[in-house]
Amino acid sequence: MLSKLTKTVSLMAVAATFGIAAPVAAGEDRMALYERFGEIPVPSKEYRIGVILKTFNNDYFIDLKNGFQDAADKYGVKVEFFAAPGETDLLIQKQLMEDMLVRQFDLIAVNPSSTSNLLEPAARATKMGIPLINVNDAYISKEDQEKHNIDIISFISTDWAEQMRHHVRYCAEKLGDEGGQIAHIMGFPGSTAATQRLEGYETELAKFPQLESVAVLPADWDRKKAMDVAADMIQANPDIKCLSASNDNMALGAIQALKNAGKLGDMIVMGCDGIPDAVTAIQNDELTASVAFMQYENGYNTIEAAILHLEGMGDKIPETLFANQEIWDKSNIDDKIANYGRYYSGMAKLTN
Amino acid sequence: MTDARIIGGAGRESSGLITMLPAAIESMFRLSWRALRESWGLILALAILVLIFSQASPYFLNTLVLERILTNASFTLIMATGMTLVIATGGIDVSIGATLALSSMVAATLMNLGTPVLPAAMAGLLLGAGIGAFNGSIISYLKLQPFIATLAMLSLARGMTLIISGGSPAFDLPEAFTSAFKDEMVMVIGLGGLLLTMLVMHRTRLGIQIRGIGGNENTCYICGVRVNALRIGVYAFQGIMAVLAGYTLTASFDAAEPTAGLSTEWLEAMAAPIIGGNTMAGGRARLFGTLMGCLILATMRSGLNISGVPTAWQQVAIGGIIVGAVTLDVLTNRKKVS
């Protein structure tokens, strides 16, 4: 009895870690998946919510923005977007947020470009009584919140480490008991996503003794560099069975290296993010899988959390909330292309 | 201006400076009058900007906004003051953003390793001066184009920053450091640096000689001006100003970021002197114009932010203003010649 119970619980836990996203039939309203908080009250007034993002100039942020906008339209709140020209424009983003503060928003959602560049305006916002939600990385750490007197309601983001755990598990599943050699191409050393993804890869690997990690090398998120790195990896370890790349760009670079070596199709190559090029590569049987995550959902959840907080129901909001993740591979990619246009602007481009 | 007063060469500046000090106030008064005459167009432009933005957004006329504009302008001013001198010698320094990042990272890393604040900050300043002096040296002795020399330095310093930091920011800096470069200190450093530089540039032989290098380097050399030494000094000064700007940025982030200075701050540091009427050909140092350039850029940024104009359009606007300012400069000069 007891063992049966623990089994069920552990099964549920496994299901939870593998991504809550259940397969959804075509045409079904996927929004049901995003309602993490249950019933959201009707806002008592037309709240104005300010959103400051790193930049607008890639699909990733457009998806996030769409999530914000859709939820805002649904609940009848106003949302205004601000963003620096590029992800490295730390100072411009700081000045932008400082200027946002005079516009009397009811709540501000921040997606800082670095862990530190928005500390000063965030502290000022708290002083002015404007509630803050931290969306996506960079994350304003607990220590910094305390040191600078910043109140952040919730951290609504993506579990980077979990993505690479997906990679390792996928690899273990495909290779079976026999196992084999695996290697990881990491992103720009020092960036949050690269560091946490590497950590996820390493911790999960410890659970699968049949997998042997033979190399971990950085390729700085870059396709060309990843091509060189992957070429070196397969040169030095001809028996490699599985390549885990920290993003899709680098996975595509690795595929180019495999093509050049005439080894494409001999091994599992996994990317991350679900960019359009990667989707095409999965369709063409070049890329094995990509771990995609719902950027859209982070925006959507943030608006819901904002309404809950402003309506005095802040106790329903967890301190951290991670978006769903899914593995896309040959088995499900056609379904994703058909149904995900709204959530991945890159996907919409593919179907058009 | 580059007349017979240059003759006599360098070497007696220090005593000259001291005797200058009692007359400083009177000098400042005369300087401000001259600055007003030279830059009334810029003052008018600033006034028009304020008028437009106060009509565009009800939130613009606000003490918080004023404070932000003054702080942001002061930050740019710190770098732009040094840049004005570099431009006056007929040069350019595109490495300031990288110098700023490297020296801040070195100082912050030293502090995190347990070095007391003062030596660590001094080490950063020395490094900045060293980078500047190196720039000046290769420009002077290897006869490299200033743009190319400093472009090489940009790459070098940025790479060193990433190597030292491993790509991640250095945080948890001592309170003594951050409080010394934070908030109103940005304005103190910016305006203090500007006033001192104005005195030197407009009231000492040294200033005349620096402008002389940009005006006609050969003549200066023949007259006994130590052209190379002065140029190296100017670039070193620019390096120090970049470090000071870097320290204020580090203090406000409470961390030294490896990507600091990658943003448009270094571009604005070059744009402000140009908007202020300093020609790239050199020979002119309108520091008051530089100040107005900084104020115009900061006002425009804040005003557009508050009016909800996307930041990409702001870059377009800044580009437009630079082209406009240069065109105006070219046209007025042409009129004088003809």
Q: Does A189 touch chain B (CB under 8 A)?
A: yes
Q: How confident is the model at residue B334 (pLDDT cuts 50, 70, 90)?
A: low
Res B10: pLDDT: 43
- Model confidence band, residue B9 (pLDDT cutoffs 50, 70, 90): very low
Q: What whole-number distance in Å separates Cα of residue A174 and Cα of residue A270?
A: 12
For A124-164, the pLDDT digits (tens) are 999 999 999 999 878 888 888 988 899 999 999 888 899 99
pLDDT in tens, B188-199: 999 999 999 988
Q: What is the percent of chain A with per-residue pLDDT over 70, rounded to a whole number? A: 87
Mark yes or no for CB contact B65/A99 under 8 Å: yes
- CA dihedral angle for residue B299, residue B301, residue B305, residue B306, rounded to 10 degrees: 0
Name the band, by pLDDT with cuts 50, 70 and 90, for residue A194: confident
Strand ranges, E, within chain B: 170-171, 255-256
Q: Which helix (H) or strand (E) holds A87?
A: none
Q: Which of A80, A89, A98 sits opposite B264 (nearest CB)?
A: A89
- Inter-chain CB pairs, A–B, below 8 Å: 99
Residue B332 contacts A where some CB pair is shorter than 8 Å:
no
pLDDT value, residue B153? 93
Q: Work out whether the CA dihedral A218, A224, A226, A228 comes out positive or negative.
A: negative
Whole-number Å distance between alpha carbons of B94 and B76: 14
**54-83 in A: which are within 8 Å (CB) of B?**
56-57, 80, 82-83
pLDDT at residue A29, as a whole number: 40
Cβ distance B65 to A80 less than 8 Å, yes or no, reads no
B301 touches chain A (CB under 8 A): yes
A146 touches chain B (CB under 8 A): no
Which residues of chain B from 56 to 75 reach within 8 Å of chain A, CB to CB?
A: 59, 62, 64-65, 68, 72
CA separation for the pair A28, A24 (Å, rounded): 7
> What was the ipTM of the complex prediction?
0.79
Does residue A284 register a pLDDT over 60? Answer: yes
A218-267 pLDDT per residue, tens: 898 888 999 999 999 999 998 999 999 998 989 999 999 999 989 888 89
How far apart (Å, rounded) are the C-alpha atoms in residues B309 and B303?
A: 9
Is the pLDDT at A54 greater than 60? The verdict is: yes
